Amino acid sequence: MENNMFCYQCQETAKGIGCTLAGVCGKHASTSSAIDILLFVVRGVSVVADTLRIKGSKVEEKVNLFVTDALFSTITNANFDDESILSRVKKGFAIRNELLKQANAAGIEVPQVEEVIWTGEEKDYLEKAKSVGVLREQNEDLRSLKELILYGLKGMAAYHEHAIRLGFNDEGIHSFMQSAMAQMAAKTMTASELVNLVMQTGKFGVDAMALLDKANTTRYGNPEITKVNLGVGTNPGILISGHDLRDIEQLLEQTEGTGVDVYTHGEMLPAHYYPAFKKYKHFIGNYGNSWWKQREEFALFNGPIVFTTNCIVPPMENALYKTRMFTSNSTGFPGCKYIETDENGHKDFSEVIALAKTCKAPVALETGELIGGFAHNQVLALADKIIEAVKSGAIRKFIVMAGCDGRMKNREYYTEFAKALPKDCLILTAGCAKYKYNKLNLGDINGIPRVLDAGQCNDSYSLAVIALKLKEVFGLDDINKLPIVYNIAWYEQKAVIVLLALLYLGVKNIHLGPTLPAFLSPNVAKVLVDNFGIAGIGTVNEDLKILGITE
Q: How far apart are CA 148 and CA 140, in angstroms?
A: 12
Give the alpha-carbon dihedral of 129, 197, 168, 98, to 10 degrees: -40
- Count CA within 13 A, CB hemisphere, residue 378: 25
Q: For 229-245, how does the pLDDT look when each residue is reduced to its tens digit (9 = 90+)?
A: 999 999 999 999 999 99
Q: How far apart are CA 230 and CA 297, in angstroms?
A: 13
Fold of 376-546: Rossmann fold (3.40.50)
Q: How far apart are CA 437 and CA 540, in angstroms?
A: 14
Residues in the chain: 551
Domain 14-204 shares a fold with domain 226-357: no
- Confidence bin at 2 (pLDDT 50/70/90): low
- Confidence bin at 504 (pLDDT 50/70/90): very high
Label residue 256 exposed, middle or buried (CB < 10 Å: 0-12, 13-18, 19+): middle
What is residue 551's predicted lDDT score, i.e. its pLDDT?
61
Average pLDDT (193-204) is: 98
Average pLDDT (180-204) is: 97
| Measured CA angle at 480 (ends 478, 485), to 5 deg | 160
- Written as one string, the DSSP assignment of 262-284 is EEE-GGGGGGGGSGGGTT-TTEE
Instruction: Check: CB of residue 29 under 8 Å from CB of residue 82.
Output: no
What is residue 166's predicted lDDT score, i.e. its pLDDT?
98
- Confidence bin at 1 (pLDDT 50/70/90): very low
Q: For 254-289, how does the pLDDT look when each residue is reduced to its tens digit (9 = 90+)?
A: 999 999 999 999 999 999 999 999 999 999 999 999
For the 14-204 domain, the top CATH level (class) is mainly alpha
Average pLDDT (400-408) is: 95
Q: How far apart are CA 349 and CA 405, in angstroms?
A: 29
pLDDT at 5 over 60: yes
- Confidence bin at 3 (pLDDT 50/70/90): confident
pTM for this model (two decimals) = 0.97
Q: How far apart are CA 101 and CA 409, in angstroms?
A: 53
- Rounded (10°) angle between helices 171-186 and 29-54: 110
- Confidence bin at 348 (pLDDT 50/70/90): very high
Residues 6+ apart with CB under 8 A from 198: 145, 148, 149, 152, 500
CA distances from residue 546 to 394, 481, 509, 513, 543 in whole angstroms, order as listed: 21, 16, 10, 15, 5
List the 337-339 sheet strands across, edge first: 283-286, 261-264, 237-241, 305-307, 325-328, 337-339
Fold of 226-357: Rossmann fold (3.40.50)
Domain ranges of the chain: 14-204, 226-357, 376-546
Instruction: Check: CB of residue 512 under 8 Å from CB of residue 488.
Output: yes
Instruction: Check: CB of residue 286 under 8 Å from CB of residue 373.
Output: no
Instruction: Check: CB of residue 461 under 8 Å from CB of residue 436.
Output: no
DSSP at 364: P
pLDDT at 344 over 50: yes
**Phi/psi of residue 452, nearest 5 degrees:** -105, 105
Residues 6+ apart with CB under 8 A from 369: 227, 228, 229, 230
Q: For 416-426, how does the pLDDT look when each residue is reduced to its tens digit (9 = 90+)?
A: 999 999 999 99
| Measured CA angle at 375 (ends 371, 377), to 5 deg | 120
Instruction: Give CA 89 to chain center in angstroms.
Output: 22
Q: How far apart are CA 434 and CA 416, in angstroms?
A: 13
237-241 vs 261-264, strand pairing mode: parallel
Average pLDDT (439-453) is: 96
